[in-house]
Amino acid sequence: MNKLFFKTFVVTFYRAFLGFFILLILVFGVFMEMKQHLLIAERLLQNSTGFHAILLIFLGYAFAQKRFQFRLLNHKHFRMFHQLGFFTWSQLGRNFLPVWLANHSLILAYSILLTYVGIGIRSGGKLLILWLFLIGLFLADITLLYFKLKKPFPESTRVRSAIFKKLKFEFWFLMHLRENRTLLILAVKIISIFLLNGFFYFYSGGGYDLRWLEFGLLCAAYCHFPIWMEKAAFEAEQLSYFHNMPISFSRKLWQHSVPILGILFPEIALIIYRFGSFENLPDLFFLLILLISLNMGIYGLVKWRNVQEKALKLGYLVFFFLFLLVIFGLPPLAISALCLIPFLVSVRSRYSV
């Protein structure tokens, strides 16, 4: 039974959010050393705001995992698991404990790291709160699952939003991210904002020119690589019906620009906040254009090389090419123009989304 639960609720969960976990491993496992993790963990435990923020992140992760699990249980192919409603609460907890541990292994591993650091700096009170919080997450998870299984299997119904009577085509991908890739979009936004804020912090300390911020925008843009891969896959699979309908080039530009700008809104707001003084207006304009163009270029690259492995390999080469252009001082507008070429090429056909 545990093997069946593991394949159904663990493997499916990690497969659905594969881009999210690859991004975390790449950023926190490849680009960061253990001493940096230890330093960050020490700062989180010493700062009450940071400690509460990490608890909030854990809660958001647990909520996304439970939401995904409920979506599975609502699907007709998983109707058999509603027989678990005959279990008592304690029986359900014992059977789903391995599933919970596997699905929450990320936050459990980081909690162990926090515990190791907290013992060294004598933060016993916060460690007690941390582990009581994790136990509470498990109890809440099993309780919600218990009452979910006690309810009748939901009928398939179509619900129309009371606010948005008709969702326009250009917002479909944003809705897809919210419904099916919640963890991915949250991880990308957190890492991207964290990186950009760090680049602005060192830039404000002096000793760096505008190329430092341009490199920061390049790194932040590549943090969005999994999202643009998801966008290309979403259009190729779920929107394949629309490939038979010719769309004007101007209309396609609008339909792509709206979701891209919507996804990049936090980064745009951060750049304006940190760099938006009157004397910096020309440079601010160039940086915003560069950020949008870099992301459009990455999306065009992925869409053009529709095989995932080829897109990743080419993406690495393009990253180092753009890095060299930044280092040698090519104007931001020139880099932006180069980045827009693959985007415009990828959407030129009237019979593509």
Average the pLDDT over each of 61-65, 191-195, 306-310 and give the range with the smallest value.
Answer: 306-310
Tell me what percent of the residues of the chain surpass a pLDDT of 90.
11
Regarding whether 181 and 135 lie in a shared domain, the answer is: no
Q: Which residue in this structure is represented by tokens 């919970």? A: 100
Q: What average pLDDT score do residues 12-37 get?
A: 74
Q: Is residue 156 part of a domain?
A: no
Q: Is residue 161 part of a domain?
A: no
Using DSSP, state whether 204 is helix, strand or coil: helix
Domain boundary among 150, 180, 205: 150
In which element (H, E) is residue 170 found?
none
Q: How far is CA 113 from CA 88, 127, 130, 182, 308, in A?
A: 34, 11, 12, 25, 34
Domain boundary among 86, 120, 150: 150
Q: What domain range is 256 assigned to?
A: 169-346
| pLDDT of res. 294 | 92
Q: Is residue 155 part of a domain?
A: no
Regarding whether 8 and 117 lie in a shared domain, the answer is: yes
Regarding whether 176 and 38 lie in a shared domain, the answer is: no
Structure confidence by residue, pLDDT tens digits, 162-219 = 444 567 778 888 888 877 777 788 888 888 888 888 888 888 877 778 888 889 899 8
pTM of the model: 0.65
Domain boundary among 121, 150, 179: 150
